[in-house]
Amino acid sequence: MSVLTTSTSSKRPASGHSAQGNPAPNRRRPRKVEPIFYLFLLPSLVLFTLAITVPGVVGIFFSFTDSIGIGDWEFVGLTNYIAIFSDPAILQSYLFTFGFSIVTVIVVNVIAFLLAVGLTSRVRMKSALRTVFVIPMVVSGIIIAYVFNFLFSNSLPALGAAAGIPWLEGSLLANPDLAWVAVVLVTAWQAVPGSLLIYIAGLVAVPGDVYEAAELDGAGKVQQLLKITLPLVAGYVVINVILGFKGFLNAYDIIVGLTNGGPGTSTRSIAMTVITGFNGGDYAYQMANATIFFLVAIIISLVQLSLTRGRNAL
């Protein structure tokens, strides 16, 4: 009996080791969250629920009705959603918003990256120049829009007439084919500083030894930019593209101040269409439009998350 007990115990792995002789995995217990953390989280959670979640759920509910925002209403099912897909004004707002967002993201990131490269190089008064370029970010969008509205409507046409440039004598804002260019330029003027700061943070984090080694190998400035700088700040490019695209999809104040969605509806964004519909008595119809836009934004976010998953952006 003692022999059997001894042989059985000899085959049993030692404490803390697996049967193959390897150390057993160290399973850590989940860290206990202190109750005080939930207490600090509670106010934000309540405010978020009351200010965003509840109004959103109520809006989605009314998108299945014929409500005008006040008074009686009746359920109409998917009628509003079906009508949206055959409404040329809604489709035009989606086409403009996505086209405007893509073009503006490209313009903003190209300008911001080149400025960041210049402001992190060996130039004088770098700090002062950075401050100057950041100023547009802290100015209200509607104020910027009104200022540029005056420039596009008065100053530039006067300059074009004095210089004898026919295409500049008329206001860009009154041209259905070129008004979107003015919207892109003004939006980019305000959005460049935010992307610029992110790119400066990325460029400053690049070790200087990398460029010194590249110079010793005979690499020129353009080669260093394309083969060293861009790959090392690729994560920052992804951040700027994602943040910029999501922000431009909600464009409203600059468009209102510049063109008010005109000429006609050529520069009317989705956000402007929804808010204008609220004021015009199309509450339920535009809530359906807002719900569709919300779902589109979620899909875009999921796609972006899948594309950037596993990348160490910063």
The listed CATH number (1.10.3720.10, 3.40.718.10, 3.90.180.10, 3.20.130.10) that belongs to domain 89-308: 1.10.3720.10
Place of tokens 């994602």: 242
Q: Hey, CA dihedral for 38, 43, 47, 50, is it positive or negative?
A: positive
The Cβ of residue 192 has, within 10 Å, a number of other Cβ atoms equal to: 25
Structural contact between residues 256 and 145, judged by C-beta atoms closer than 8 angstroms: yes
Cβ neighbours of residue 225 under 8 Å, at least 6 residues apart?
117
* pLDDT (tens place) for every residue of the chain, 314 residues total: 444 444 444 444 444 444 455 555 556 666 777 788 888 889 999 999 999 899 999 999 999 998 888 888 899 989 999 999 999 999 999 999 999 999 999 999 999 999 998 888 776 777 777 778 888 888 888 999 999 999 998 988 888 888 888 877 888 898 888 899 999 999 999 999 999 999 998 888 888 788 788 888 787 878 888 888 888 888 899 889 988 998 899 999 999 999 999 888 899 999 999 988 887 778 999 999 999 999 998 888 888 777 766 554 44
The DSSP result for 214-245, as a single string, is: HHHTT--HHHHIIIIIHHHTHHHHHHHHHHHH
What separation in angstroms does the CA of 81 have from each of 62, 88, 90, 292? 12, 14, 11, 8
Place of tokens 């004095």: 162
Domain segments of the chain as ranges: 89-308
Question: Is 0.85 surpassed by the pTM of this model?
Answer: no
